[in-house]
């Protein structure tokens, strides 16, 4: 009871909140429901997010009140920079530190605030985005006696300027506003080092031949049904060779795009897609956050914990019981895609 009263009193002067999450793009997108809930319930507070370069990229246009503090654990003299950042956090006098990290090494940053809160996954298996949102609601309920009043899901803003750049790229590829666009995302973080961990690769990567077969089947079915459908891959330039091999295997059924990296434009490209077929990687979460429908493929990872935290009906998840992605057949994926194709 004493703890509850002290936090309610704290809420009356709550002005500065530190959020902590250092991760890759997908990790950062999964935090967005919790961040948005806290922003909505503390409209006068100043928010800082201690995060990675990917985190800065993901949250750049998220909310004007949200400022980022860079924590680059891979940089030169990372240990010294961490100590300097910790001193900066201590001197900033944060009322609350909310840590979305499961790594206990970040506890020092939560201790630097008046009150610190950290997510817990003792039971295991719960969706990470939900764990973060549960922590946000715990803070909100303790400081203001408010119960959850909104179904928060992953979300990212898309600017009109980015949409225009995406439209230009699609138009250059002969894709019109009326075209039904199916995106394919065949890569994942760590693909370049897959030769070191073949067992992990088998559980993370759907075979190139399977993507190619799916693309041919989609084009064949859409032609028979009179659907203006295009299959597209939007990959990083360094992934071009990998994508080109899939295009060759598909007999040209796929349009490969490898423009200069631009995260704002990439969000708009995904938003324009009517459907994305993807493995469990950052693109899955970004696409889900901009409202794109998904067919998501899982092998060694568990959709119950790492799946896209989207509205019901937006995503169909296919999980290989064997944990080998190759055991998901192109026909199974095609059947899932049919749920989203035009009637």
- Tell the residue number behind the tokens 């298996």, with chain if given: 125
Question: Is there a domain that residue 284 lies in?
Answer: yes
Question: Is there a domain that residue 205 lies in?
Answer: yes
Pick from 93, 120, 144: which residue ends a domain?
A: 144
The verdict on 171 and 246 lying in the same domain is: yes
The helix, strand and coil proportions of the chain, stated in percent and rounded to the nearest 5, come to 45, 15, 35
Compute how many other C-beta atoms are within 10 angstroms of the C-beta atom of residue 12. 8
| Strand arrangement of the beta sheet that strand 115-118 belongs to | 66-70, 46-51, 16-20, 96-99, 115-118
The verdict on 307 and 165 lying in the same domain is: yes
Q: For the chain, how far is it from start to end, CA to CA, in angstroms?
A: 57
Query: No. of H helices and E strands in the chain?
Result: 15, 11
pLDDT at 122: 65
The verdict on 211 and 313 lying in the same domain is: yes
Q: From residue 288, give the alpha-carbon distance in Å to each of 83, 149, 270, 310.
A: 36, 22, 9, 6
Pick from 144, 177, 202: which residue ends a domain?
A: 144
The verdict on 214 and 324 lying in the same domain is: yes
User: Which helix H or strand E contains 18, and what residues bound it?
Assistant: strand 16-20
The verdict on 130 and 176 lying in the same domain is: no
- The separation between CA 118 and the C-alpha centre of its own chain, rounded to angstroms, equals 21
Question: Is there a domain that residue 150 lies in?
Answer: no
User: Which helix H or strand E contains 183, and what residues bound it?
Assistant: strand 180-185
pLDDT at 260: 96
Question: Cα–Cα distance between 30 and 34 in angstroms, integer?
Answer: 8
Pick from 120, 144, 168: which residue ends a domain?
A: 144
Compute how many other C-beta atoms are within 10 angstroms of the C-beta atom of residue 202. 19
pLDDT at 204: 87
The verdict on 96 and 237 lying in the same domain is: no
Question: Is there a domain that residue 289 lies in?
Answer: yes
Mean pLDDT per 10-residue section of the chain, whose length is 343 residues: 46 80 95 96 94 95 94 75 88 93 89 90 78 93 78 97 98 97 90 62 90 98 97 96 97 97 98 97 97 97 93 97 95 98 92
Question: Is there a domain that residue 154 lies in?
Answer: no
Q: From residue 83, give the alpha-carbon distance in Å to each of 16, 77, 89, 92, 296.
A: 21, 10, 10, 14, 40
The verdict on 309 and 193 lying in the same domain is: yes
| Strand arrangement of the beta sheet that strand 275-279 belongs to | 254-257, 229-234, 180-185, 275-279, 294-298, 315-319
Number of domains in the chain: 2
Question: Cα–Cα distance between 302 and 317 in angstroms, integer?
Answer: 10
Question: Cα–Cα distance between 82 and 119 in angstroms, integer?
Answer: 21
pLDDT at 142: 84
Question: Cα–Cα distance between 268 and 169 in angstroms, integer?
Answer: 11
Question: Is there a domain that residue 325 lies in?
Answer: yes
CA angle 244, 235, 200 (to 5 degrees): 85
Question: Cα–Cα distance between 250 and 232 in angstroms, integer?
Answer: 12
Question: Is there a domain that residue 155 lies in?
Answer: no
The verdict on 140 and 189 lying in the same domain is: no
- Tell the residue number behind the tokens 């910790």, with chain if given: 86
The domain that holds 10 is classified in CATH as: 3.40.50.2000
The verdict on 191 and 316 lying in the same domain is: yes
CA dihedral 24, 181, 221, 188 (to 10 degrees): -10
- Tell the residue number behind the tokens 């019109």, with chain if given: 176
pLDDT at 9: 43
The verdict on 133 and 192 lying in the same domain is: no
The verdict on 129 and 168 lying in the same domain is: no
Tokens of 161: 């300027």
Helix (H, G, I), strand (E, B) or coil at 343: coil
pLDDT at 4: 47
The verdict on 324 and 240 lying in the same domain is: yes
The domain in which residue 136 lies consists of: 2-144
Tokens of 162: 């980015």
Tokens of 44: 């006068």
């Amino acid at each position: 009871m004493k703890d509850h009263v002290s936090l309610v009193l704290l809420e009356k002067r709550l002005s500065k909140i530190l959020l902590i999450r250092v991760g890759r793009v997908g990790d950062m997108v999964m935090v967005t429901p919790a961040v948005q809930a806290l922003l909505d319930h503390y409209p006068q507070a100043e928010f800082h997010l201690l995060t990675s370069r990917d985190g800065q990229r993901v949250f750049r246009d998220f909310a004007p009140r949200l400022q980022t503090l860079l924590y680059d654990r891979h940089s030169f003299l990372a240990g010294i920079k961490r100590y300097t950042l910790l001193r900066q956090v201590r001197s900033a006098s944060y009322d609350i530190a909310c840590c979305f990290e499961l790594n206990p090494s970040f506890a020092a940053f939560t201790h630097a605030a008046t009150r610190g809160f950290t997510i817990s996954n003792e039971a295991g298996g719960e969706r990470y985005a939900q764990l973060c949102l549960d922590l946000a609601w715990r803070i909100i309920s303790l400081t203001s006696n408010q119960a959850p009043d909104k179904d928060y899901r992953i979300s990212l803003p898309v600017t009109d300027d980015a949409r225009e750049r995406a439209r230009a790229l699609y138009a250059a590829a002969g894709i019109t506003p009326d075209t039904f666009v199916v995106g394919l995302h065949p890569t994942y973080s760590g693909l370049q080092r897959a030769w070191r961990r073949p067992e992990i690769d088998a559980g993370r990567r759907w075979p190139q031949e399977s993507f190619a077969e799916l693309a041919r089947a989609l084009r064949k079915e859409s032609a028979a049904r009179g659907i203006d459908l295009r299959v597209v891959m939007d990959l990083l330039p360094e992934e071009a060779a990998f994508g080109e091999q899939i295009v060759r295997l598909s007999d040209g059924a796929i349009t490969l795009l490898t423009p200069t990296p631009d995260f704002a434009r990439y969000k708009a490209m995904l938003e324009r897609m009517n459907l994305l077929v993807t493995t469990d990687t950052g693109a899955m979460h970004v696409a889900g956050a901009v409202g794109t429908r998904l067919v998501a493929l899982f092998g060694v990872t568990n959709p119950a914990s790492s799946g896209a935290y989207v509205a019901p009906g937006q995503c169909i998840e296919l999980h290989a019981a064997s944990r080998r992605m190759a055991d998901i057949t192109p026909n199974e994926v095609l059947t899932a895609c049919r749920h989203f194709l035009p009637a």
